[in-house]
Amino acid sequence: MHVRKFLCCIPLKYGVIIVGAISGLIDFILGSIGWDMVISNKFPDYVVEFFRTMNTRTCVAGFSALIWVLMIDHLLLIYGVIYRNLLLIGTWLLINYIVFLFTLVTVLLDGWAIVRIIGIGYCLIVVKSYYTELNVSTPDSSRGASESSEESTA
């Protein structure tokens, strides 16, 4: 599947920047909430129940750290779009395909995961469309290919 505009009206480049910014902001907020729980050592009952067989503090700290790593990934997506770096955009796609697959599994645990699946799915389509568009229009030399021997000796 391929789209030419983000939300039917915004160019793909700016749509991908919006995806990275919104996803990064959401992950920052969720990670901060998790770290606040860890620091204050106060957890809602549903969190304690979810991690009932494990140390709640350790699990929340682990998830918060993971969410902040994803936030950094979203910031690298924005950087990759601005500087047309296919490697960073491709890395974002790979990481978020994995997140998408794990989110599919969590639908069994939480009904709200369906909304997240739809959102991640659309974001993956938008970023993949931009990646394909950029890949077609970018010459080999800017993708990291080495220079020919004639160019390097000049």
Name the helix (H) or strand (E) containing 106: helix 86-106
State the virtual CA torsion across 58, 105, 12, 94 in degrees, nearest 10.
70
Quick check: 7 and 15 in contact, CB under 8 A? yes
85-114 pLDDT, tens per residue?
999 999 999 999 999 998 888 777 777 778
59-77 pLDDT, tens per residue?
899 999 999 999 999 999 9
The verdict on residue 99 lying in a domain is: yes
Quick check: 93 and 127 in contact, CB under 8 A? yes
The verdict on residue 144 lying in a domain is: no
Calculate mean pLDDT across residues 132-153: 61
Please return the burial class of 91, using the count of CB atoms within 10 Å of its CB with bins 0-12, 13-18 and 19+: middle
The verdict on residue 3 lying in a domain is: no
The verdict on residue 93 lying in a domain is: yes
Q: Count structural domains, the chain.
A: 1
Percentage with pLDDT > 90 across the chain:
57
Identity of the amino acid at 2: H
pTM for the whole structure: 0.80
The verdict on residue 102 lying in a domain is: yes
The verdict on residue 1 lying in a domain is: no
Range of the domain at 66: 11-137
